[in-house]
Amino acid sequence: MHTVRIYTDGACSGNPGPGGWGAVLINDSLRKEISGGEARTTNNRMELTAAIEALRRLKTPCKVDLYTDSAYLKNGITAWIASWKLNGWKRRVGKRLLPVKNADLWRELDRLASIHRVTFHWVAGHAGDPENERADELARSAIPSG
């Protein structure tokens, strides 16, 4: 099983607004950078999309260390998703159950993560980690203009 390090980031100009996502995939000496954007989206959707698109690029099941500066992404996939699934993709707010925001993306991320052995890591954004900084550059450069 191959081991891959993935660094992801999402960015928005306004929230909602035009947004971009970027990811850096590293396996031994191989490196791939990917990015994309949407005309109207949110920062959280771009964070999730970066992770989804990176995992989609893996051709076989891999051991993955995925690094994100998004607490929303990290907490959602490691802590919150189990209860969302038990509650029919609803989240508890006080005594009420409300639909999970971005459920379409959470479902896809969950599906892709189940193919691989993924460990999600949180890293501080804009703190000098070169690969996290590169993912941020990719995301920002992918934001559609106008």
Q: Which domains does the chain have, with CATH numbers?
A: 2-75+109-141 (3.30.420.10)
Residue 146 has pLDDT above 70, yes or no: no
pLDDT at 29: 84
Query: 9, 38, 53, 131: which one is catalytic?
Result: 9
Residue 96 has pLDDT above 90, yes or no: yes
Residue 63's CB is within 10 A of a number of other CB atoms, namely 13
In order of 40, 73, 79, 109, the CA distances from 112 in angstroms are 24, 14, 17, 5
Return the closest-CA partner of residue 21 out of 141, 107, 146. 141
Share of the chain above pLDDT 90, in %: 92
Return the closest-CA partner of residue 8 out of 59, 64, 78, 62. 64
Is 129 annotated in the active site? Answer: no
Residue 76 has pLDDT above 80, yes or no: yes
Predicted confidence (pLDDT) per residue in 10-68, tens digit: 999 999 999 999 999 999 989 999 999 999 999 999 999 999 999 999 999 999 999 99
Is 14 annotated in the active site? Answer: no
Query: 38, 53, 69, 131: which one is catalytic?
Result: 69
Is 28 annotated in the active site? Answer: no
Cβ proximity of 116 and 55 under 8 Å? yes
